[in-house]
Amino acid sequence: MKRQTLILLVCLLSLPVMAQQVDRSLLIKPERTNYTETSTYKDVMDFTKAVIKDSKYVSQISMGTSLEGKDIPVFVLANPKIETAAQAKASGKPIIYIQGNIHSGEVEGKEVVQILMRDILMGDKSYLLDNQIILFVPIYNTDSNDKMEAGRRPSQEGSPIETGIRSNSQGWDLNRDGMKLETIESRGLIQNIIVPWDPTLFVDLHTTNGTWHGYSVTWAPSYHTAGEKAPYDFTWDKILPEVTEKALEKHDVHLGPYGYYYTRREGWPIKSIYTYNHHPRYLVNQFGLRNRMAILSEAFAHERLYQRINSTYAFVSEILEFTNKNGDEMLEINAKAEQDAINLVKEQGGKIQKGVRFEMVALDEPVPAYRTYNHMETTNERGQKSFLRKPEIIELKDIVNHSAFEATKTATLPKGYIIPKEFANIAEHLKRHGVQVTELTNNKRASGEVFTATNLERANRPFEKHKMATIEGSYAAANKRFGKGDFWVDMAQPLANLIFYLLEPESDDGLVNWNFFDEHFDSNGIAEKPVDYPIFKYFEIK
Ligand SMILES: [Zn+2]
């Protein structure tokens, strides 16, 4: 780009009141269409190509290729420029991963990532690269983005007019695939980006579906289940409050806690809000099991596209302001969490219990002033009580916040697992997640526990093309001999908490649930008699 154009653009971006000519190739699709249209895949590729053309701070890498043959681009922004994960690691800087368009109908994340790239690479925000490396993924769900049609997202009220499809082109929801990794996109994300680059913070940009709360964006951290507490605590106690305050102060945008409420259950005014759930199939939650921080961003669906872009921009840019200042502390917290997870296995493996199933509970602290649209009680045509929304936003005092999870079932944390060689697919699956798995070359004797399932139940209705399985049974002490070709998973490794959640047979989001062991249980006659779970959990190995 010419120097003059650059100066012009810098002026335009930093002083929005100035009416200046700007090259149309440097406008995103909503800006060119009065916010009636969202970017197609080609729009994103053309725009990002124009924005990165003359920049010395960006390199473009690939997450993978979609089913329909589209490259999923990842833009690495860094000063000095970084091209590989090894260089990123050597730099010692925190890596912030920001992703738009996981659900193609939820479009503003995709647009905001493009605007931020423009502001950092060509505008006045290059200082955001002083202390951090940013991985921008504007369009994660590439294929479904372009299958646009009006009316797909009723709560967005036609703004933009047409949007793409929620699931990927294989028909799976990319935000339920975190554990089973069935999609091309999840495998690309985990294997090509998350494992090698190891982001310090993962940010996933969405749009809500329903509740008429009074926030322009709602947020949630990675819920800690069987994970370490410190990364969650820092996100909840430090990042989210500061970013919320700055968004209001600098952008006049209200951010608040993610949650639904139910007038039918509680009447009006409501007393409580409820978050979504803790399962690590959601990418944000899975980051907790990886000892890393994560943030879910949910723009308020009922606002117009230009407002949602504005508020998501306020949120993400303030996250980047925060991480630019506090990234070193975040790296330390994550590293300590990782070490704590390893130490716990080494010191307490075989002795302590950790949660494998969880239920939602209220936090001790209520939301002191919860913003919401007001409602009025009335009676409908059938004589039933109903609650109609009023146009004004009010604040309700001390709303109980169901935003924590407690274990309802626990299992002993082992020192490791042994996977018989017949279950090489399980070993492969763990490796896909970045788990270190060793193939045994000589015999080992292990003492620990074997789980015997007495019952396997499958859901009647499919979810994500799975009739999810749950097994019940019990553990008993056992000794076993393993040999050449079997797989050894030592839990004294960074992903201990993820391994535990994937492999524990009674886990509520593990490989048993996702039918990885159905064939084993069925062919061994689980319908008639108890069947052992084939993965052995050891407390000692020789
Ligand atoms: Zn979503």
Confidence check: pLDDT of 298 > 90: yes
CA of 217 to the centre of ligand 1 (A): 13
CA of 317 to the centre of ligand 1 (A): 20
CA of 524 to the centre of ligand 1 (A): 40
Confidence check: pLDDT of 15 > 90: no
Q: Are residues 470 and 390 in the same domain?
A: no
pTM above 0.75, yes or no: yes
Give the H or E element holding residue 480: strand 469-482
What does pLDDT average to over the chain?
95
Show which of 308, 341, 374 is a domain's final residue.
341
Greatest Cα-to-Cα distance within the chain, rounded to the nearest angstrom: 79
Q: Are residues 421 and 490 in the same domain?
A: yes
CA of 107 to the centre of ligand 1 (A): 10
Would you call 319 exposed, middle or buried from its count of C-beta atoms within 10 A (0-12, 13-18, 19+)?
Answer: buried
CA of 202 to the centre of ligand 1 (A): 15
The pLDDT value given to residue 2: 47
CA of 106 to the centre of ligand 1 (A): 6
| 299, part of any domain | yes
| 351, part of any domain | no
Q: Are residues 428 and 391 in the same domain?
A: no
| 354, part of any domain | no
Segment 174-186 mean pLDDT: 98
CA of 351 to the centre of ligand 1 (A): 39
Residues with CB under 5 A from ligand 1 (ion): 103, 106, 206
Cα(first)–Cα(last) distance of the chain, in Å? 65
The pLDDT value given to residue 1: 46
CA distance 415 to 484: 20
Confidence check: pLDDT of 416 > 70: yes
CA of 258 to the centre of ligand 1 (A): 12
Confidence check: pLDDT of 353 > 70: yes
Q: Are residues 327 and 452 in the same domain?
A: no
| 483, part of any domain | yes
CA distance 120 to 80: 14
CA of 127 to the centre of ligand 1 (A): 30
Question: Which amino acid, residue 423?
Answer: F
CA of 415 to the centre of ligand 1 (A): 37
Q: Are residues 311 and 285 in the same domain?
A: yes
The string of pLDDT tens digits covering residues 183-211 is: 999 999 999 999 999 999 999 999 998 78
User: Residue 380 — very low, low, confident or very high, per pLDDT cuts 50/70/90?
Assistant: confident
Q: Are residues 374 and 461 in the same domain?
A: no
| 452, part of any domain | yes
Q: Are residues 377 and 503 in the same domain?
A: no
Got the DSSP string for 62-107?
A: EEEE-TTS-EEEEEEE-SS---SHHHHHHHT--EEEEE--SSTT--
Expressed as residue numbers, the domain containing 387 is: 360-405
The pLDDT value given to residue 144: 96
The string of pLDDT tens digits covering residues 423-443 is: 999 999 999 999 999 999 999
| 266, part of any domain | yes
CA of 105 to the centre of ligand 1 (A): 8
List Cα–Cα distances, 309 to 27, 30, 110, 324, 480, in angstroms.
14, 9, 9, 22, 58
Would you call 431 exposed, middle or buried from its count of C-beta atoms within 10 A (0-12, 13-18, 19+)?
Answer: middle
The pLDDT value given to residue 11: 47
CA of 210 to the centre of ligand 1 (A): 12
CA of 173 to the centre of ligand 1 (A): 9
Residue ranges of alpha helices (H) inside 294-434 are: 305-348, 424-432
The string of pLDDT tens digits covering residues 240-272 is: 999 999 999 999 999 999 999 999 899 999 999
CA of 141 to the centre of ligand 1 (A): 11
Q: Are residues 297 and 389 in the same domain?
A: no
- Torsion angle in degrees (nearest 10) through CA of 499, 501, 504, 507: -170
How many separate domains does the chain show? Answer: 3
User: Residue 20 — very low, low, confident or very high, per pLDDT cuts 50/70/90?
Assistant: low
| 7, part of any domain | no
291 phi and psi, to 5 degrees? Answer: 60, 35
DSSP conformation class of 215: -
Segment 25-54 mean pLDDT: 97
CATH of the domain at 215: 3.40.630.10
CA of 207 to the centre of ligand 1 (A): 6
| 184, part of any domain | yes
CA of 166 to the centre of ligand 1 (A): 8
CA of 161 to the centre of ligand 1 (A): 18
Q: Are residues 391 and 537 in the same domain?
A: no
Q: Are residues 295 and 379 in the same domain?
A: no
% pLDDT > 90, the chain:
91
Q: Are residues 397 and 436 in the same domain?
A: no
Confidence check: pLDDT of 35 > 80: yes
Q: Are residues 486 and 367 in the same domain?
A: no
